[in-house]
Every structure is written in C-alpha cells, then in structure tokens.
C-alpha cells in the first residue's frame, strides 16, 4: 500500500472540489487496473445522507468511500470513558510539553463527567492541553465550572458517531454490497448525526 491520505472535513468540499476528488479516485483506479493501493481517511461534521438529499454532497463520491457502518455514541453518553480519555490526553500533552502529568481531584473528575461536551473528544483534548499549559487544573477548568450545563444534554445535535469500513486497496467491483471484502482494502467513516463526524479509509 502506497500510504494514507487524510481529509479532515470532507463535507466542507464544495461540489466542484468533490468532482475533482472523485475524478482522481476514478483515475487512480483506471491507471492501476482497479487497484487503489492507498488508504483514504475522511471526516465530516454533518450527516452525509442528509447532505446528499440536499444536493450538497455527491452521491457517487459517497459510494466510493462508503461501506459497513458502526455507530458510536457521543462522549456525553459514554460517561465511563471520560476519566480514561482525560488521563490519556493529560499524559500525552504533558509528555509533549516535557512536564509532569497533572492529577485531577475527585471534584474535577466529577465536573468532567457531568459536562455536556458539545465539542466531543476534541473539546476534552483541548481542555487537557490547557490544563497542562497553565499548570493549574482549577484555573483551566473555570469555564466548565461556570458553564452550568451539568449533566443535561444539549439541545442541538445528537453527536452520534458512525464508523464505516470498506475497501479501496483492491477492486471497486466488490463495493456494491457496501461491505468489506477480501482484497478490497479498508475504509472507515465516522459520522455523527447532527454534529456528524465521518472517517473513511480507502
């Protein structure tokens, strides 16, 4: 496999850019006899099915990157994961900054657990970076403390995520079922309904 191409926010591409991307994928397939030879990972913050219905996303491009779908709930519905993820991000950013990993108090861990996390994983990761940078978790978490969101979910998007796997390493002839087939490579799409996120591998 030649490598991996990551497109963050593929839904932000206008229709002309989507047409160019589709042509590149088709051209790569034709030039290599039906073999893509690389992995494409894409993300989106929108519901792609709805975008197609509204005429803002090309159906044929979606079929090129779509496959089996696995739904992942938003962070606010995975309360048991928040402490583990916070610890991971704190250790990561502390290591990057050459600092000691901050230790959160029980009250601060509870604050993380009851926060709504409209920004999902990225919001948690950015907060951990801020805690490390300031060196004072109380000061870094003051906005959370004053937000007053508690554990009530926000009224906007569901934040639901989907992971879709399909293949582009092999022939596109096997893509009709939308499932991963042997020799067809791997594709992943992560989507959130509302604040939808999609990751794809080709």
Report how far residue 46's alpha carbon sits from residue 11's, in angstroms, rounded to the nearest whole number.
7
Q: What domains sit in the chain, N to C, each tagged with a CATH number?
A: 4-73+159-191 (no CATH), 75-147 (1.10.8.60)
Residue 194: phi and psi, rounded to 5, are: 90, -85
User: What tokens appear for 154 in the block?
Assistant: 């926000």
Instruction: Give residue 195's pLDDT.
Output: 43
Instruction: Give residue 29's pLDDT.
Output: 64
**Number of other residues whose CB lies within 10 A of the CB of residue 166:** 28
Residues of the chain with pLDDT under 50: 149-158, 162-202
- DSSP per residue, 7-52: EETGGGS-HHHHHHHHHHHHHHHHHTTT---SEEEEE-SS-HHHHH
- Our CA angle for 73, 79, 81, nearest 5°, is 85
Instruction: Give residue 10's pLDDT.
Output: 86
Under 8 Å between Cβ of 117 and 79: no
Report how far residue 143's alpha carbon sits from residue 74's, in angstroms, rounded to the nearest whole number.
21
Outline where DSSP puts E strands in 95-170: 161-165
Report how far residue 169's alpha carbon sits from residue 197's, in angstroms, rounded to the nearest whole number.
23
Outline where DSSP puts E strands in the chain: 4-8, 39-43, 68-72, 161-165, 188-191
| C-alpha separations of 5 from 41, 65, 102, 166 in Å | 6, 12, 34, 15
Q: How many helices (H) and strands (E) does the chain have?
A: 8, 5
Residue 77's DSSP bridge partners are none
CA 147 to chain centre: 25
């Amino acid at each position: 496999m030649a490598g991996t191409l990551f497109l963050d926010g593929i839904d932000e591409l206008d229709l002309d850019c989507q047409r160019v991307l589709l042509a590149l994928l088709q051209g790569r397939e034709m030039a290599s006899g039906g073999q893509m030879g690389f992995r494409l990972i894409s993300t989106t913050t929108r519901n792609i099915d709805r975008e197609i219905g509204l005429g803002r996303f090309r159906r044929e491009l979606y079929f090129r990157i779509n496959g089996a779908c696995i739904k992942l709930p938003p962070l606010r519905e995975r309360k048991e994961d928040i402490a583990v993820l916070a610890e991971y991000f704190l250790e990561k950013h502390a290591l990057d900054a050459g600092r000691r990993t901050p230790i959160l108090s029980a009250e601060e861990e509870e604050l993380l657990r009851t926060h709504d996390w409209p920004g999902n994983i990225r919001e948690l990761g950015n907060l951990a970076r801020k805690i490390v940078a300031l060196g004072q978790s109380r000061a870094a978490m003051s906005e959370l403390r004053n937000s007053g969101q508690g554990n009530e979910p926000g009224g906007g998007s569901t934040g639901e995520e989907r992971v879709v796997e399909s293949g582009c390493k092999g022939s596109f002839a096997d893509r009709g079922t939308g499932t991963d087939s042997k020799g067809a490579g791997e594709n992943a799409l992560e989507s959130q309904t509302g604040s939808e996120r999609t990751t794809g591998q080709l």
